[in-house]
Structure 1
């Protein structure tokens, strides 16, 4: 393992104390909740089903990765436009077909990596490429965090966004509470700064009049969400249009998945691409997406918010992640709790996300420093500069009416090409990318 400056509080396969387990898992649940339920709300699927599918998918992921990768899976934003397009062709049933097929693509790619090994991938992704990509992952989410913190209606078209000073002040107060909790609290409270920040921000939001409890009062204590199950609620029918709308997006999200695994590897200090292997994590992501398609949930993916929680708390236990997954499943059936969590204002989550996403970007900077990437070399300077501007600037290639390659995926592709064609490339062994990984060799 990497000799991290700060030692892990709970290692990957360490079981937390029972008295702490619930609270630590709740912290992860709250960190991902807003984004996970926002996707189905935007595309017209059931938020309750999305919670359940994220929990089931995360548990499946943990099993497939042999309990070695502390990653939580939630609703994927990359599939929002394709799901809407697929629903316009054949309703939620068509979207589930596309989701199922996207999950199968993950499985095929996992099989290819399993057969071909990982060395070729490390040859394509040396630190000078990986570091800036990780920075792009964090900074690419920065606009989302600021939009949540600044506007009354985040997610609306730019022309319809409504600025709110009150929302911004609540977000900044939430951020301040989270920072103070992270820096100064010790003991058990030092492990849950995100949860404390959300709770403190929520209290301020209530006082500021940003919380409406109408939905909580109206919600039943127990409810069965609107599952969409093949051969039970509908009879599946194949459509090539849906295939061409949704399946290509899986190729883009695979690049994002690989980037997330790199961030996780850097944060935890283990090379997860080697052990348990990128093929296992991709297969886990694919199985989670297939599970979602069988019950009516959106495609799943690893979550930057939860990676940020790991980086801040240094609690890497997969048992904590598994606990959050079980809670998500339970909450999907408890109407009151789901409605209560749903009342958390976007400003509160935006304030927390400012810190979480920033830490992801900082992890990329740390990789460049730890690997002693020499920016005195024009080659390294060019590669990192192009990746950062393309990724953060929002460049994209429009492949079709329903698909585009943008953000991190495009930046990664161009970074890899530059690394291959520019002269003066250093030979970098993949196992050294995240430090000395000899004790984690596959």
Structure 2
């Protein structure tokens, strides 16, 4: 079962000192991306850290401590959360997260009873990849606005600022240099390194405001958002239409991560502990996160990359990273310092990050050898891209609209099912991957 190059296998327990060091490494690998999402959508970075740790521990428990995966903030839900917040407040987006988790529960139950092959047919690369491209490109205006524009006069009106844009460009350059020229662990943390370099540059040009850090307490509870207390629990069709269909993409992402992770650690996670368990763990993590005010969760590719480089697969290390994230979330000074990161720095790193999301969709098409000489593939991908990026909308009533990437994902699934010429083969999980 184990690879001869494995340093620590799944259930190997390192010494206390080594455990702490390796866990810190995993925490910093996910840190930049996990705190970026709440910064962009108006949630607390502290609650994002807290819920990422809690969700990871829940995931590990549900998967019987067999899967060394870390759960962080999902970028797929940024646009829906922003849209819902504008319509009815951030509390509604949290309600949406609960219903996304419900989709996970249902899918995991069906997989448990019927097997996993049907979902491989329902979500082939020709559907999933264009939707992933839509997610990245739909976020691009958010990145550019953060990078270039700033409320210079404090009147709520943003204007172009070369000073702030320079901070975005420095941040972007630092992240690109990290990806291209750094080796080993550092190459897996371009987001964190880019933010740090951009922040230091922002200090030099005087666009960082420290007053909140000075007044912050050393120990402070995260800002919880509780249904029925901090916001009214109201479910609307538009809320469901914007959030729930994105589960199509995140479930596909989850399956992809489980396949990649299985290859790295030489196990078949689709069969044992089973796709139904890992999806259930992901869904429970998202549910608890939404219940207390955190963003939806997903398994993190950054941490899978850490596993591949270090060859340390121990679940104790992942659990340690989760516990450290929970502890960090209660350090008020640190969270206040994170809140002082200029929007230009967030914009600079977002330019790269959102572009990578779109490019990962292109990579999926290439890796799966999708033939665009096949008119069926050309039609499906073309319609998904234009509907998703163009902002197409189905307006059913004053309370129910279906638009953007949610509509694109649903249309893609329907087109794949109804258009003639659908490939009959099912994606098979290699039997020898578990040996």
User: TM class by shorter-chain length?
Assistant: 0.7 to 0.9
Q: Please list the CA deviations of residues 79-134 of structure 1 after superposition, one character each: whole Å capped at 9, or x if unmatched.
A: 5665787779xxx7x98777656644542342123223222222223332233233
1:35 aligns with 2:32: no
CA contact (8 A) 2:371 2:377 kept: yes
Could you tell me which residue of structure 2 aligns to residue 26 of structure 1?
28
Q: CA 1:301–1:186 in structure 2 vs 1: closer, same or farther (change >3 Å)? A: closer
1:211 aligns with 2:213: no
CA contact (8 A) 1:25 1:320 kept: no
CA contact (8 A) 1:174 1:348 kept: yes
Q: Distance in 2 between matches of 1:274 and 1:259?
A: 16
List aligned pairs for 1:3-18, cutoff 5 A: 18=19
CA contact (8 A) 1:128 1:368 kept: yes
SS across alignment from 2:144: helix
Could you tell me which residue of structure 2 aligns to residue 261 of structure 1?
254
Could you tell me which residue of structure 1 aligns to residue 71 of structure 2?
72
Unaligned residue ranges in structure 2 (runs of 5+): none
TM-score w.r.t. length of structure 1: 0.76
Q: Distance in 2 between matches of 1:125 and 1:247?
A: 20
1:291 aligns with 2:288: yes
**Offset at 1:418?**
1.9
Could you tell me which residue of structure 1 aligns to residue 394 of structure 2?
397
Could you tell me which residue of structure 2 aligns to residue 179 of structure 1?
176
Could you tell me which residue of structure 2 aligns to residue 118 of structure 1?
116
Q: Distance in 1 between matches of 2:209 and 2:301?
A: 30
**Offset at 1:162?**
3.0
Q: Distance in 2 between matches of 1:313 and 1:345?
A: 32
Greater mean deviation of Cα atoms: 271-280 or 349-358: 271-280
Q: Please list the CA deviations of residues 6-30 of structure 1 after superposition, one character each: whole Å capped at 9, or x if unmatched.
A: x999999999965454144223112
SS across alignment from 1:114: helix
List aligned pairs for 1:101-112, cutoff 5 A: 103-112=101-110
CA contact (8 A) 1:134 1:262 kept: no
CA contact (8 A) 2:246 2:405 kept: no
Q: Distance in 1 between matches of 2:109 and 2:68?
A: 19
**Offset at 1:266?**
7.5
Greater mean deviation of Cα atoms: 52-61 or 315-324: 315-324
CA contact (8 A) 1:86 1:98 kept: no
Could you tell me which residue of structure 2 aligns to residue 300 of structure 1?
296
Q: CA 1:255–1:350 in structure 2 vs 1: closer, same or farther (change >3 Å)? A: same
Q: CA 1:236–1:183 in structure 2 vs 1: closer, same or farther (change >3 Å)? A: closer
Q: CA 1:174–1:56 in structure 2 vs 1: closer, same or farther (change >3 Å)? A: same
Q: Please list the CA deviations of residues 211-262 of structure 1 after superposition, one character each: whole Å capped at 9, or x if unmatched.
A: 11111100010123455679xx96999x7x4376755655323223224325
Could you tell me which residue of structure 2 aligns to residue 3 of structure 1?
none
Could you tell me which residue of structure 2 aligns to residue 129 of structure 1?
127
Number of equivalences = 414
**Offset at 1:71?**
4.4
Greater mean deviation of Cα atoms: 7-16 or 101-110: 7-16
1:381 aligns with 2:378: yes
Q: CA 1:60–1:248 in structure 2 vs 1: closer, same or farther (change >3 Å)? A: farther
Q: Distance in 1 between matches of 2:298 and 2:114?
A: 24
CA contact (8 A) 1:99 1:289 kept: yes
Could you tell me which residue of structure 1 aligns to residue 148 of structure 2?
150
TM-score w.r.t. length of structure 2: 0.77
- Indicate the RMSD between aligned Cα atoms, in angstroms: 4.2
